[in-house]
Amino acid sequence: MIIGLDTGGTHVDAVLIENGKIIDKTKKPTDKSNLFESIWKTLEELLKNKNLDCIEKINLSTTIPTNAIVEGKGSKVAMFIEGGPGIDPANFICGDHVFFLDGYIDHRGREIKPLNEDLVRKKAEYISSKDIKSFAVVTKFSIRNPSHELQVKDVLTKLGFSPVTMGHTLSGKLSFPRRIYTAYLNSAIFSSFNEFAHAVRKTLKQKGLNVPIHILKADGGTMSLNEASKYPVQTIFSGPAASVMGCLASFNLQKDALLLDIGGTTTDISFLADGVPLFIPDGIAISDYPTLVRSIINISIGLGGDSAIKINERGNIIIGPERQGPPMALDGPTPTPSDAMIVLEKLNFGSKEKASYAMSLIADKIGVTIEKAAEKIYDKFGEIIKEKTNEILHKINSHPVYTIQELLYGKRIKPENIVVIGGPAKAVAPILEKKFNIPCKIPQNHEITNAIGAALTRRTLEVTLLADTERKILSVPEMGIYKKVDSSYNLDSAKRDAIKLLHQQLKNLDADSYLNEVEIIEENSFNMVRGFFTSGKNIRLRAQIKPGLIYRIGDDKDA
């Protein structure tokens, strides 16, 4: 049996799944002042009268790192930043103490100017007197050559600082500013995450549950609690990913699809491309910090069942973006889409009379019947979702391309199905079908789709391999590899190595059942010419285990 647990803003949801069947589920309110306690209470209830020996693993999503960042409650962090020529790195200051280094690594990974270790030592000693333990170090182009970051870490570790997050370990992607923010955040939330991890381990042990613990990531995959303890920043914003994976677990979706999670205040929009969740190109942004954390696209719009409805001076219906309280059917202050759907008998809760009164307020203003007003609001609700979706799709489909091939024949996302979850899912499905003119599906158990997703999602991994055969250097930043290769190294060798590395990593993680799932997602080999002769190859490759599921719930439904 697998436990899946998702911590949301209002509820903690948990499920127990065995061989594709949901054995039990629990929903408990979230106590923001004590998240660990909320998680623990939910688990206790779920596991009541269960045979704990049958539990194989626990997958959980936590909002602790996200909250720590959003609420500005992270630890104090000191930073070393080495910029070199380019945009002034003072633009990317974050953290409580920032020191700039004057060494430089260029775009090929060549050291142009060495690191000044004495300066590092001097500044670190100064920080020692400041009661700050956490450091982050980021140098420009460190994914091409991490030596300066390693040197700084070495000095800091010897002086007793911990954690020391090095930029190149977080992602193989280029972006010095994002690397700075991501490394800073990782160090800032390190101790709060580790406290949480410690509590989880201890409590489960006391309970006699000695099973692997996995934490959800924003990219729809999991990582072990131990890895997450080193790189907690990878666990931010995992909630939406859990819902997306839950939708995948409910249907056999092999084509492009639109995923909607409609709540009280917002609607979250995600997409599948050929059945695989679509990622944000660079990484997710949190509290104004753009990061390199890989994440599923999940865009919130201010439209939900409880959104406030107004009529503007031109007599148009405006829904949202703010929520002023519950629907009037539940004694709320303003008419809401839920009131409209109660009048139309698509939803059934609260007082129908009060909902009807809510609609009469609208009807009077635009001079139609109560019924008609409700219909207009319902239609508008679908219309807004459609407009926003198309806007987002347009953006996605005009993503930058760099080859003629891609420009002329590149993939365009065109959803063929909608999957909708959340409170008003059933009520809204018909209007979505009408507006988009494609089938709209609702998972069974759609109130705990997130927990199902958490339970069934599997390990994701990504590596970036760069080989420069002129410099005879190979680097795989995410794995800390930086070594010599000979000049005969080519794209095929790179593919073999990337796959081998991922295989090894999977074996180390006891996740070898996914060995066949490794895929190369980007491969480029550029001939480097100096003078009139080919002097080497510049090989760039990315490989991954894409987000996926152990298995789907129940039988395969038609896609």
Partner 1 sequence: MLKAKNKLGLVFFPAFDWQISPTHPERQERLLYTMDQLNEEGVFDIDGIKLFNPTIATEQDIQRVHFCYPDVKTRVPQSHLISAGGSIRAAEGVLKGEVQKSFAIVRPPGHHAYRVVYGDRGFCIVNIEAIMVENIRKRFGNKKIAIIDTDCHHGDGTQDIFWNDKDTLFISFHQDGRTIYPGSGFVEEFGGPGGFGYNINIPLPPNTGEEGFLYVLDNLVLPILEEYKPDLIINSAGQDNHYTDPITNMNFTAQGYAKLNERLNPDIAVLEGGYSIEGALPYVNLGIILAMAGIDYSKVKEPDYSFEKLKQSDDITEYIKVLCEKIYSKWKRREKTAYKLFNRKDSVIRNKNIYYDTDGIMENQREKIKVCSECSGLIVIESSSNIGQDLLAITIPRDGCNKCIDEGYNLYKKTNNNYSKVYLQDKINDQFFDK
CA angle 237, 238, 243 (to 5 degrees): 120
Q: State the minimum distance, in angstroms, from the CB of residue 92 to partner 1.
A: 8
- d(CA 45, CA 55) in angstroms, rounded, equals 15
* The three-state (H, E, C) secondary structure of 212-225, written as one string: CEEEECCCCCEEEH
φ, ψ at 419 (rounded to 5°): -115, 125
CB 104 within 8 A of CB 113: yes
94 closest CA partner among 170, 188, 194? 188
Specify the stretch interacting with partner 1 by CB under 8 A; choose among 129-137, 342-350, 420-428, 530-538: 530-538
Tokens 């979850």 sit on residue: 421
CA angle 158, 164, 170 (to 5 degrees): 140
Specify the stretch interacting with partner 1 by CB under 8 A; choose among 196-204, 220-228, 267-275, 521-529: 521-529
Q: State the minimum distance, in angstroms, from the CB of residue 99 to partner 1.
A: 17
Q: State the minimum distance, in angstroms, from the CB of residue 272 to partner 1.
A: 23
Judged by CB under 8 A, the residue of 348, 507, 529, 551 near partner 1 is 529
Interaction of residue 91 with partner 1, rule CB under 8 A: yes
Q: State the minimum distance, in angstroms, from the CB of residue 397 to partner 1.
A: 10
Q: Which of residues 99-138 bind partner 1 (CB under 8 A)?
A: 104, 106-108, 112-113
Q: State the minimum distance, in angstroms, from the CB of residue 400 to partner 1.
A: 5
Site string for partner 1, 388-407 (x = CB under 8 A): ----------x-xxxxxx-x
**Residue among 288 and 313 whose Cβ is closer to partner 1:** 288
- d(CA 11, CA 523) in angstroms, rounded, equals 42
Interaction of residue 49 with partner 1, rule CB under 8 A: no
Judged by CB under 8 A, the residue of 49, 51, 72, 85 near partner 1 is 85
Q: Which of residues 331-360 bind partner 1 (CB under 8 A)?
A: none
Q: Which of residues 533-552 bind partner 1 (CB under 8 A)?
A: 533-534, 538
Residues forming a β-bridge with 476? 481
- d(CA 381, CA 249) in angstroms, rounded, equals 27
Interaction of residue 147 with partner 1, rule CB under 8 A: no
Omega cis (within 30) before 477: no
HSE (side-chain half, CA atoms, 13 Å) at 311:
16
Rg (CA), the chain: 26
**Residue among 103 and 326 whose Cβ is closer to partner 1:** 103
Quick one: DSSP state of residue 232? G
Interaction of residue 437 with partner 1, rule CB under 8 A: no
Interface with partner 1 by CB under 8 A: which residues?
A: 83-88, 91-92, 104, 106-108, 112-113, 140-141, 173-178, 282, 288, 290, 398, 400-405, 407-408, 524, 526-529, 531-534, 538
